Chains A and B, each alone.
Chain A
Amino acid sequence: MAAKDLEIDTSTLVKKPKKTLQHTHDNLLRKIAIPTIYCPGCGIGTTINAFLEAITKYTIVPHDNILVVSGIGCSGRASGYVNLDGFHALHGRAIPFASGVEIARPKMKPVIISGDGDLFSIGLGHLAHAARRNIDMTVICVNNAIYGLTGGQDAPTTPVGAKSRTTPYGKISFPFNLSHVAIANGATFCARYTVYEFIQLAKAIGRGMTHQGFSFIEVISNCHVNFGRRNNLGDSIAMRKMFKKVRVPMKEEDIGLDIRKTDIKYEVGKGFTRIPTGIFLNERDKPEEFSERIIDAYEFNK
């Protein structure tokens, strides 16, 4: 074959777009790690954006003191995209890693951005103990009701009846109410918002970071590729519209002691029918956070 025949006709190829990054928080993104692995329309992007909005607008924690830790999963990559101190820990072990940093260097403010599978399935034990100790950290849990990165297997948050790759006839077991679990184990600040409520979410993250102690923020996110598609919930926009329709704003007073009121409801064929959102717990008479307790724990006998 002649050399000419081997040449590829490049005129029909899609031209590479010019590499210009334009983002409202451009200076806070680790440019060498971009582009992200996320599907277009993913809620994790919204969550990262809300976090960046929070640290620039809604909290006074210095950026040098913020540490972003994440586990494994789609949301696990978040720590790499943010240009702050960060670590991409083992599956489920973001919280122990962050606890170690917080104990060794109490001035640090760990923020964990990770998924429901990472924090509540393989890493549930660590979350419970970090909440019990009241370690000064903010846990942002992106709850998309599915294991997204591995291709859509059922997670401990997948609603009853929902279809996934491993529950082709509908999920049998009951899901966790993540906020309930966090509060029951001793979280001193707890909020839940959907990715539709961007400003409220950013503000809640800011408040959670300003709060001294274990704060938990649940983000109801859309995995339209692995969850929405198999359950006929439409694309990213359709799912966010659904969140808008079914969210029920709640306050601490509305809930009282009956945390069951915050349960998420789901109906097969319809999708989510009720998602209570809001700040569920903001403990004012909060116990001292853990690293301060360690510093004050001992005094020498004179």
Chain B
Amino acid sequence: MVVDRQPKVMTGTYFKNGNWGIVEGAIASGIAEFFAYPISPASEVVEYISIRLPAVGGKAAFIVEDEIASINMCIGASWAGSKVMTTTSGPGFSLKQEGIGLAFMSETPMVIVNVQRGGPATGLPTFSAQGDYMQVQFGTHGDYSAIALTPWTVQECFDLTIKAFNISEQLRTPVILLADGEVSRMMEEITIPEEKEIEVLHRKTPPKGTDKSNFNQFDARNEPDLVPPMAHYGDGYKIFGTGLTHKISGVPHLDEDLHIKLMGRLFKKIEINKHLYPEPEYHFVDDAEVVIVATGIVARSAMEAILEAREKGIKAGLMRLITVWPFPEEAVEKLAQKAKLIVAEMSMGQLIWPVERFARKKCKLVTRIGGTPPTPKKILEAIEEEAK
């Protein structure tokens, strides 16, 4: 099959949708393999990357038998040394949950894109929603600490995909890009910078001269960031990985103390590297009396409402969460001390749970489900009510 060669980084300004941005972000990050099962509204990612990957000299994008196979193939390819990504929507994300737990436990870097749609079950395909917020953190069984980023523009679909790859490579853990159907399918301007301006990071590998016969794949004892260097298959290290509680060599050992130590490190790894995750974005919060907390497409609706409120003389502001997990506890706590908080989201109320917990008070909830974000008018009404 003959393919026209395309550049790896498509520098320039385009009018494209969010799914396009996700693909370009992945290609710019140096993705080597892509495994997914088609599901709308994420199917465009699968279609577009099938054109792009072979054209930049990579392999084909693989449509595999099911969602479960796609995440397990990603884990395999990552252990063989590749940067990998898989995309899905709500129902597929539920199926991938066990695999996400394995990726966390076996410290496998990879990016999982979840373009949210209406649920539960088959739900409201392929209308937009934000109902997977909780399942990202609490979906897999057992203790798990998620890293999830949410874009609100097409430009951010590109930027945050690169960011997600970099975080996952630095921390040896899966990172989730939690887009919503609206952001991933709407079209707007996107600017892709020059290749040299894009920061692409790679995972730590064992330093040269490491004793191959006695290598421990999960040994972070000498690592200040608690991330062990990762050896790959075929390099002679004879590495072993498992989803069971394991020693630093990877050999399973079912023991209470070991489990506490292992889970402690995995959680601490996510916690002490907080500086790597994007901070929340603030608009007009300095003098604000009412602040809207929102993510993704809803934040754009809230922005409109805030501008209208400001015209009316109400001091309103916006706190847009980019990193939704780990939850920006301190930022919310600090903000709640000086302003009233309103949570706007496209679900029956999920983001409000952690917001209320860390604000230490009741917050107003503005919500709309069924495929459309809460309108600026509805959010403005809530602002006016709170500002009284």
Which residues of A line the B interface, CB within 8 A? 30, 32-33, 64-65, 67, 77, 79-80, 83-90, 93, 96-105, 107-108, 125-126, 128-129, 294, 297-301
Across-interface contacts of B240 in A (CB, < 8 A): 30, 79-80, 85-88
A214 → chain B closest CB, angstroms = 14
A105 touching B80 by the CB < 8 A rule?
yes
B50 → chain A closest CB, angstroms = 12
A65 CA to B80 CA, complexed, in Å: 11
Complex A-B: 13 CB contacts under 8 Å: A80-B242, A86-B239, A88-B240, A96-B69, A99-B73, A100-B77, A100-B78, A100-B80, A100-B84, A101-B80, A104-B77, A128-B65, A298-B2
Q: Binary interface profile of B, 221-247, with partner A (CB < 8 Å = 1, else 0)?
A: 000000000001111111111111001
A100 touching B72 by the CB < 8 A rule?
yes
A103 touching B234 by the CB < 8 A rule?
no
Q: Binary interface profile of B, 258-275, with partner A (CB < 8 Å = 1, else 0)?
A: 000000000000000000
User: With A85-B233, A85-B234, A90-B98 in contact, do A103 and B251 touch (Cβ < 8 Å)?
Assistant: no
B72 touching A32 by the CB < 8 A rule?
no
- Contact among B1, B2, B76, B249 with A101 in the assembled complex (CB-CB below 8 Å): B76
A104 CA to B33 CA, complexed, in Å: 7
Across-interface contacts of A294 in B (CB, < 8 A): 59-60
Across-interface contacts of A67 in B (CB, < 8 A): 233-234
A83 CA to B236 CA, complexed, in Å: 11
B2 → chain A closest CB, angstroms = 5
B5 at the interface (CB under 8 A from A): yes
Q: Which 10 A-B pairs have the closest CB atoms?
A: A100-B76, A100-B73, A88-B242, A96-B72, A104-B80, A104-B77, A100-B77, A96-B69, A97-B76, A105-B80
A108 touching B251 by the CB < 8 A rule?
no
Across-interface contacts of A297 in B (CB, < 8 A): 1, 54, 60
Central interface residue in B72, B77, B238, by most chain A CB within 10 Å? B72
B30 at the interface (CB under 8 A from A): no
B234 touching A83 by the CB < 8 A rule?
no
B64 at the interface (CB under 8 A from A): yes
Q: Binary interface profile of B, 77-115, with partner A (CB < 8 Å = 1, else 0)?
A: 111111010000000000000110010001000000000
User: With A64-B236, A297-B1, A298-B54 in contact, do A87 and B80 touch (Cβ < 8 Å)?
Assistant: no
List B residues 25-55 near A (Cβ within 8 Å). Answer: 32-33, 35, 54
A103 touching B33 by the CB < 8 A rule?
yes
User: With A104-B32, A104-B82, A129-B65 in contact, do A97 and B54 touch (Cβ < 8 Å)?
Assistant: no
A126 CA to B269 CA, complexed, in Å: 33
A104 CA to B35 CA, complexed, in Å: 11
A108 touching B72 by the CB < 8 A rule?
no
A291 CA to B76 CA, complexed, in Å: 14
When A and B form their complex, what is the total count of cross-chain residue pairs whose Cβ atoms lie within 8 Å? 142
B358 at the interface (CB under 8 A from A): no
For the complex, count residues of B whose C-beta is within 8 A of A.
Answer: 52
A80 touching B251 by the CB < 8 A rule?
yes
A125 touching B66 by the CB < 8 A rule?
yes
Across-interface contacts of B62 in A (CB, < 8 A): 103
B304 → chain A closest CB, angstroms = 44
Across-interface contacts of B294 in A (CB, < 8 A): none
B4 at the interface (CB under 8 A from A): yes
B75 at the interface (CB under 8 A from A): yes
* CB closest residue in chain A, given B35: A100
B234 touching A64 by the CB < 8 A rule?
yes
A9 CA to B98 CA, complexed, in Å: 48
B33 touching A100 by the CB < 8 A rule?
yes
* CB closest residue in chain B, given A77: B252
A91 CA to B66 CA, complexed, in Å: 15
A133 CA to B69 CA, complexed, in Å: 14
A12 CA to B84 CA, complexed, in Å: 58
B69 touching A129 by the CB < 8 A rule?
yes
B5 touching A300 by the CB < 8 A rule?
yes
A32 touching B1 by the CB < 8 A rule?
no
A104 touching B252 by the CB < 8 A rule?
no
A300 touching B3 by the CB < 8 A rule?
yes
B38 → chain A closest CB, angstroms = 15
A89 touching B1 by the CB < 8 A rule?
no
B74 at the interface (CB under 8 A from A): yes
List B residues 183-219 near A (Cβ within 8 Å). Answer: none
Across-interface contacts of B70 in A (CB, < 8 A): 96
B12 → chain A closest CB, angstroms = 21
Across-interface contacts of B243 in A (CB, < 8 A): 88-90
B215 → chain A closest CB, angstroms = 11
* CB closest residue in chain B, given A64: B236
- Contact among A102, A104, A125 with B81 in the assembled complex (CB-CB below 8 Å): A104
* CB closest residue in chain B, given A79: B240
* CB closest residue in chain B, given A300: B5
- Contact among A32, A85, A101, A126 with B65 in the assembled complex (CB-CB below 8 Å): A126
B81 touching A105 by the CB < 8 A rule?
yes
B305 at the interface (CB under 8 A from A): no
Across-interface contacts of A299 in B (CB, < 8 A): 1-3
B68 touching A101 by the CB < 8 A rule?
no
Across-interface contacts of B81 in A (CB, < 8 A): 104-105
A158 → chain B closest CB, angstroms = 25
A67 CA to B237 CA, complexed, in Å: 11
- Contact among B4, B5, B234, B244 with A65 in the assembled complex (CB-CB below 8 Å): B234
